[in-house]
């Protein structure tokens, strides 16, 4: 659903291009690459599949499904694939387009009349493809607090009514800003057009024909969880087990990132993609047409090209559920996904008939694994000279985490030495409301202020005085890693808090924790 480490994929890599011929790579070579990555990063488990020339050349699990047990990851172990689910949503829409039940350019309001954006022009002109291409004009990850962390009571209806309250950051269709909410709207389009929920449609129309027999459109659908990877967080070589994120599909569909799958099933998905929608033993069946695939693999929103001599890339953009660029003259189709404790990456090189998928159950170091493994395997197939991707990503993860940790530590040092002698805590208490996030309460527990969200119970925790009229909220739930936030009060002439603005204290905070988009105003006393 959210791409927690999108920033890693935008790093400019300087390497040496090589003109060697394209290579074939054995399963043993792939295994050695993955084993080295597992030794270089602190992760609980991972799974990798590689398909080439219409065949599965490698599929294997590594490490443990949970640090609390001895069960090993295998090719059938299910992981949350998060935003890699988006390509399934666009494929589902392609099926409905081919059946004549909708058009890519249909206006969203033709199918969901109550859909309302931030101004009338955008509402009237917002089409199906606008739901999928991250060009709405809204900011990065806006509104994700309605479903991150899990456990809130927000529904699809709440999502549909939220967009009118958001402030755009760019002109409509002019700029890429990654979005999850609009994919949930796309899932609702599928529901209304087909008469089936997004979960039912994905299961019946994609999983079943592709024999993805052990994949699930929602974590809640998995009855036997004996071979499901548990999510973990890594910090300074330490791994912590956390609870899996769970969304109730009766409230919010999983179109932005709800699928749980495994490398064995995803190998079938990649083979179908590389065969232009065809599948089956002799490719006698067709899921969607070549024309539909061209539409999904066409750049709809442009992105800056990474100046990268190693791959000689010339274009970069987003299609329908896929990132698109070129490497050494070959088109690359890819996506990443991230949940709390789960990361995934899919890479397709149609010109080489090559597909790679990496799943891991550990954040942060999992980003190093999925990045270094995919790059190393790709380099071998491209015939490039070896490059130490493990060292490269390890250094950048360390540097990024170190810089963020230093900033956060400085803030907490300020908190520890702050003079609170003149504070009147009751001036800050009350109930405040945001147009889309709903009500929150600032209460007093002894000599401590406390932040509580009415609609998202995990957004709750003690507040510590920082400086001026600013406090820091320290969330109790492990579902908000590195997401502690400034709570900045605006006072009236009597010193009574009237409104609140917020922002994360860590520069490494995940974009889905969009506290900065909240506009909280006092509505009553406690």
Q: How far is CA 191 from CA 158, 160, 197, 445, in A?
A: 16, 14, 5, 45
Note down the domain range covering 149: 6-386
Whether residues 430 and 283 fall in one domain: no
Q: What is the CATH number of the domain that holds 154?
A: 3.40.710.10
Whether residues 335 and 473 fall in one domain: no
Tell me which DSSP letter residue 479 carries: T
Whether residues 94 and 27 fall in one domain: yes
Q: What is the CATH number of the domain that holds 455?
A: 2.40.128.50
**How far apart, in whole angstroms, are the C-alpha atoms of residue 456 and residue 512?**
14
Whether residues 348 and 213 fall in one domain: yes
Residue 361 lies in a domain: yes
CB atoms within 10 A of CB 312: 11
**Model's pTM, two decimal places?**
0.95
As a residue count, the chain comes to 526
Whether residues 238 and 331 fall in one domain: yes
Q: Is the Cβ–Cβ distance between 355 and 347 less than 8 Å?
A: yes
Print pLDDT tens along the chain (526 aa): 444 444 444 433 333 333 334 578 999 999 999 999 999 999 999 999 999 999 999 999 999 999 999 999 999 999 999 999 999 999 999 999 999 999 999 999 999 999 999 999 999 999 999 999 999 999 999 999 999 999 999 999 999 999 999 999 999 999 999 999 999 999 999 999 999 999 999 999 999 999 999 999 999 999 999 999 999 999 878 999 999 999 999 999 999 999 999 999 999 999 999 999 999 999 999 999 999 999 999 999 999 998 778 999 999 999 999 999 999 999 999 999 999 999 999 999 999 999 999 999 999 999 999 999 999 999 999 999 999 999 999 999 999 999 999 999 999 999 999 999 899 999 999 999 999 999 999 999 999 999 999 999 999 999 999 999 999 999 999 999 999 999 999 999 999 999 999 999 999 999 999 999 999 999 998 8
Whether residues 297 and 221 fall in one domain: yes
Whether residues 337 and 233 fall in one domain: yes
Q: CA torsion, points 5, 88, 86, 230, in degrees to nearest 10?
A: -50
Strands 438-445 and 362-363, by their bridges, are unpaired
């Amino acid at each position: 659903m959210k791409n927690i480490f999108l920033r890693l994929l935008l790093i400019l890599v300087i390497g040496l291009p090589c003109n060697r011929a394209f290579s074939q790579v054995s399963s043993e070579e792939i295994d050695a690459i993955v084993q080295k990555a597992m030794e270089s990063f602190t992760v609980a488990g991972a799974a990798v599949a590689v398909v080439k020339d219409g065949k599965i050349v490698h599929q294997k699990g590594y490490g443990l499904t949970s640090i609390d047990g001895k069960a090993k990851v295998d090719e059938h172990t299910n992981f949350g694939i998060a935003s890699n689910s988006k390509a399934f949503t666009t494929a589902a829409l392609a099926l409905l387009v081919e059946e004549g039940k909708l058009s890519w350019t249909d206006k969203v309001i033709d199918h969901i009349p109550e859909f309302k954006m931030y101004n009338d022009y955008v509402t009237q002109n917002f089409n199906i493809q606008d739901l999928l291409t991250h060009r709405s004009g809204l900011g990065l990850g806006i509104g994700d607090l309605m479903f991150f962390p899990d456990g809130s009571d927000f529904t699809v209806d709440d999502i549909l009514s939220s967009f009118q309250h958001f402030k755009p950051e760019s002109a409509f269709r002019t700029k890429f800003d990654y979005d999850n909410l609009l994919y949930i709207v796309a899932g609702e389009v599928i529901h209304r057009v087909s008469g089936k929920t997004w979960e039912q449609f994905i299961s019946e129309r994609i999983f079943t024909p592709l024999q993805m027999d052990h994949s699930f459109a929602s974590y809640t659908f998995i009855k036997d969880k004996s071979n499901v990877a548990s999510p973990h967080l890594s910090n300074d070589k330490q791994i912590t087990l956390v609870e899996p994120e769970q969304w109730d599909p009766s409230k919010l569909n999983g179109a932005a990132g709800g699928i749980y799958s495994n490398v064995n099933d995803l190998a079938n998905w990649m083979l179908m993609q590389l065969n232009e929608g065809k599948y089956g033993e002799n490719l006698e069946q067709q899921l969607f047409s070549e024309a539909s695939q061209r539409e999904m693999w066409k750049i709809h929103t442009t992105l800056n090209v990474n100046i990268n001599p190693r791959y000689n890339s010339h274009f970069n953009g987003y299609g329908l559920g896929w990132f698109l660029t070129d490497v050494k003259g070959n088109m690359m189709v890819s996506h990443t996904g991230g949940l709390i404790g789960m990361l995934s990456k899919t890479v397709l090189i149609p010109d080489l008939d090559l597909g790679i998928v990496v799943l891991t159950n550990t954040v942060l170091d999992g980003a190093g694994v999925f990045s270094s493994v995919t790059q190393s395997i790709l380099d071998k197939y491209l015939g490039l000279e070896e490059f130490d991707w493990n060292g490269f990503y390890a250094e950048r993860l360390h540097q990024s985490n170190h810089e963020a940790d230093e900033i956060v530590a400085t803030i907490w040092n300020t908190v520890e030495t702050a003079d609170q002698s003149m504070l009147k805590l009751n001036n800050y208490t009350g109930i405040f409301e945001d147009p889309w996030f709903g009500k929150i309460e600032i209460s007093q527990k002894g000599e401590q202020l406390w932040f509580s969200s009415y609609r998202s119970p995990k957004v709750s925790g003690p507040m510590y005085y920082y400086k001026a009229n600013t406090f820091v909220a320290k969330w109790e739930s492990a579902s908000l890693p590195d997401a502690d936030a400034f709570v900045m009060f605006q006072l009236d002439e009597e010193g009574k808090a009237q409104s609140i603005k917020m922002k994360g204290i860590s520069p490494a905070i995940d974009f889905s924790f969009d506290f900065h988009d909240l506009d909280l105003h006092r509505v009553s006393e406690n």
